[in-house]
Amino acid sequence: MSTQKSSNGTNGTAKPMQNGKHTAETTTTLSVVKDDTKPAPSIQGKQPPELPPVEDRILKVSQLFSLVEKHETLLETKKKLKAFKLSTDGSRDTLRIQDSRGNEFTTSNSAVIADVLEVLKTSLDKKILEVEAQIKF
């Protein structure tokens, strides 16, 4: 858009021209109205969550620590079982089980010992999964 003086005798005021022709000027006014009566959308309808009493939270943390200790103990036991190797000749290994009354069972049969080790590993894996499922916060 360029501005040129008009030669048609309009008291010397310049009129806007486009492609050599006079054009009309228009002015647009834009008004913005802000409505301060509503809270911002991110705040509207959301309240901070209420926390349980401090005693309940402390109990929950205590239970969580207990479960974590149990989990670590089970993992350590599993590690020890994995490291256990039976001898190839089958005569040097011994399994001894003793109860609280002093009754004792002893065997040197490698096949029986291997079976007992597999049962222990399976049972430990199951217990580890149970404890992991209980660890929630």
Residue 18: inside a domain: no
Give the structural domain span for 98.
Answer: 54-134
CA distance 15 to 47: 60
Residue 121: inside a domain: yes
Residue 59: inside a domain: yes
The reported pTM is: 0.57
Residue 35: inside a domain: no
CA distance 113 to 93: 8
Phi and psi for 104 in degrees, rounded to 5? -135, 140
Residue 87: inside a domain: yes
- Taken as a whole, the chain contains a residue count of 137
> For residue 100, what pLDDT is reported?
96
Spatial contact of 128 and 70, defined as CB atoms under 8 Å apart? no
Q: What is the pLDDT of residues 21-70, one digit of tens each?
A: 666 666 666 666 666 665 555 555 666 688 889 999 999 999 999 999 99
- 21: buried, middle or exposed (CB in 10 Å: 19+, 13-18, 0-12)? exposed
Give how many domains the chain has, as a whole number: 1
Residue 103: inside a domain: yes
Residue 104: inside a domain: yes
Residue 26: inside a domain: no
Which region among 44-53, 79-88, 105-114, 126-135 has the lowest average model confidence (pLDDT)?
A: 44-53
